[in-house]
Amino acid sequence: MRHLPYFCRGQVVRGFGRGSKQLGIPTANFPEQVVDNLPADVSTGIYYGWASVGSGDVHKMVVSIGWNPYYKNTKKSMETHIMHTFKEDFYGEILNVAIVGYLRPEKNFDSLESLISAIQADIEEAKKRLDLPEHLKFKEDNFFQVPKGKIMNGH
């Protein structure tokens, strides 16, 4: 993706209900309009970067952009796994995402277990890369300085 870093924000919506339940890897899902507004040349695949919920702390994240071939989705989705344990769900909150790097293309898996191990490997690789100075600097980007109590309209 030539447009890296890519910054976007939107309201967290309910996804397919698979991240936490089937995979043990909770994800926050963007509404279709955020996915539809991605640059036209964005490649599907796994990316990494930084994310915050509302005006909360900024955490490492991985994001899957695409069709999720294992699940044969018919709509493109953008699912963010934030590397932080949240005490409760945050549907309806504003998710702020800075995508800073690309890990790998989307691919199909022959089992749920191989999908889960690939995601876990992606998370470990993203953690390492995000510690590099060229990626770490985006954690402090002004994009994440959302004034407390400011109402966001999903843009």
Q: What is the pLDDT of residues 34-53, one digit of tens each?
A: 998 998 888 999 999 999 99
State the pTM of this model. 0.88
- How far, in Å, CA of 74 to CA of 76, rounded? 7
Model confidence band, residue 17 (pLDDT cutoffs 50, 70, 90): confident
Q: Is residue 146 part of a domain?
A: no
Provide the domain count of the chain. Answer: 1
Model confidence band, residue 155 (pLDDT cutoffs 50, 70, 90): very low
91 is in which domain, residue-wise?
Answer: 6-134
**pLDDT score, position 76:** 84
Q: Is residue 152 part of a domain?
A: no
| Secondary structure (3-state) at 131 | coil
Q: What is the pLDDT of residues 96-128, one digit of tens each?
A: 999 999 999 998 889 889 989 999 999 999 999
- The tokens 């955490």 sit on which residue? 59
Q: Is the pLDDT of residue 133 over 90?
A: yes
What are 127's two structure tokens? 């953690």
| Secondary structure (3-state) at 107 | coil
- How far, in Å, CA of 28 to CA of 91, rounded? 8
Q: Is residue 94 part of a domain?
A: yes
136 CB-contact burial (10 Å; exposed 0-12 / middle 13-18 / buried 19+): middle
Q: Is residue 155 part of a domain?
A: no
Q: Is residue 1 part of a domain?
A: no
- How far, in Å, CA of 17 to CA of 80, rounded? 13
Q: Is residue 41 part of a domain?
A: yes
Q: Is residue 54 part of a domain?
A: yes
CATH of residue 35's domain is: 2.40.30.30
Q: Is residue 141 part of a domain?
A: no
Q: Which residues are catalytic?
A: 79
**pLDDT score, position 54:** 93
